[in-house]
Amino acid sequence: MTMRELIGADVLLRAALLAVLALQAASGQNATLFKQDNLLRYYSKDSLSNFTEFTSNYGYYSEEHVVVTEDGYILFLFRIPKGKNCNGTIAEPPILMMHGLLMSADAWLDAGPSAGLAFLLADACYDTWVGNVRGNYYGRRHRSLDPDTDSEFWDFNTEQMGVYDLPANIDYVLNHTGSKDLMFIGFSHGCRQVFTMASETSGYVDKVRVAINLAPAVRVKYTRSISIRLLTEFYAAVSPILKTPRQLEVLEKGGLIQTASAFICKDNALASTVCQLFLALIDSYDPGSVLPETIRSLFGHFPAGTSAYTLAIYGQGVISKNFQKYDYGFSKNLQLYGSPIPPLYNLKKSTMPVVLIYGKNDFLVDPRDVKWLSKQLPNMLETYEVGRTTWNHLDNNYSQFSKRLIFPKINEYLRKYSTRV
């Protein structure tokens, strides 16, 4: 493909994405392109598997748990108690992993046992717990609200995830294991939750022995991804006029974008060409990093869904260039915050030991934003740049090189802050 053709494809795909998003927002369509029941034989087994099925595909034992948040959301939480050949030497305390935006717990598995971080941690004999947040397909239930008929179900952004979802996951893990604290690993959006939690709740920083953050999406001032900027700014603009559940639930599993992506990327030849281009439009290009079989798997689970307001708060962050609360507009801001502008989150309250890991070629979380974050935190252990110049945002979940390039640094701090029993 020539450079002119590549640029043309880039423009067309971006235009198509925005057209579909605008159509979904305006009409509330939750369309499915294909009846997958008739096409199962064409998809990879991993792409069709849920978390426990995925681990079982490779001979790992995993557990499914149910967490209920203080405000009634029902979330699935998964556990791999240990990997292969651990011989009873399990590390304490447990680890809790939290996924990125529009992802789910499955994202930590999609690269397979040789590179998926949940597999690697389990094989290193850590008690590995993998959480979810409201709005993805593992968090689409509530004690009293119906996500298909009640707009109130979708009335959340990243703050509620940090104030309710992450604390509920932490409390469940600690209560189940009897541990007084845990080790945290977050990716992107998952990192935003831990710093929101530290700012807006009491006592939870003491329950995090160490927080390891991969590409932390906290301040997003320098985001270079044009498609993500357009997507999030679009929802920042239109979210005030969205009313129905079908308008407020966006990029869901089984919807138009996910179904079409999974269908196109089920083929190895397309996964290594067209679908690589899809990923490059979201992030930046890292040649040879994500294997075709991983791409086939990940588009079976991504995008996983969220609310319009969750995308909107990132769009507001791109515009305001701050790590701040949701901007509801002048009147509601005065009512909720006592100020016409949203207050900033207090990063000085993030007193747990923190490690930041980032890539130089990350177009979603720019290195300048990571370095800014490191200067705001009171208990920084290390800000680590991955030693591959093309390492991008999505590589943290999907690269075949994770075991060599990021797992050793993660394991270094996990071993430092854990004990073996």
10 Å Cβ neighbour count for 72? 14
* Terminal alpha carbon distance of the chain: 55
- Percent above pLDDT 90 for the chain: 86
Does residue 28 carry a pLDDT above 70? no
If one counts the domains in the chain, the total is 1
Q: Is the pLDDT at 11 greater than 50, yes or no?
A: no
Do 147 and 140 form a contact (C-beta atoms < 8 A)?
Answer: yes
Question: What is the span of the domain harbouring residue 248?
Answer: 3-420
> How many whole angstroms separate alpha carbon 115 and alpha carbon 37?
30
The whole-number average pLDDT for the span 213-228 is: 97
- The per-residue pLDDT for range 139-153, each reduced to its tens digit, is 999 999 999 999 999
pTM of the model: 0.91
Residue 180 is part of a domain; what is its CATH number?
A: 3.40.50.1820
* Complete DSSP assignment for 110-131: TT-TTT-HHHHHHHTTEEEEE-
The pLDDT assigned to 233 comes to 97
DSSP state of 383: E
CA dihedral sign of residues 194, 195, 200, 202: positive
pLDDT for 41 = 63
Q: Write out the catalytic residue numbers.
A: 188, 393
pLDDT for residue 88? 67
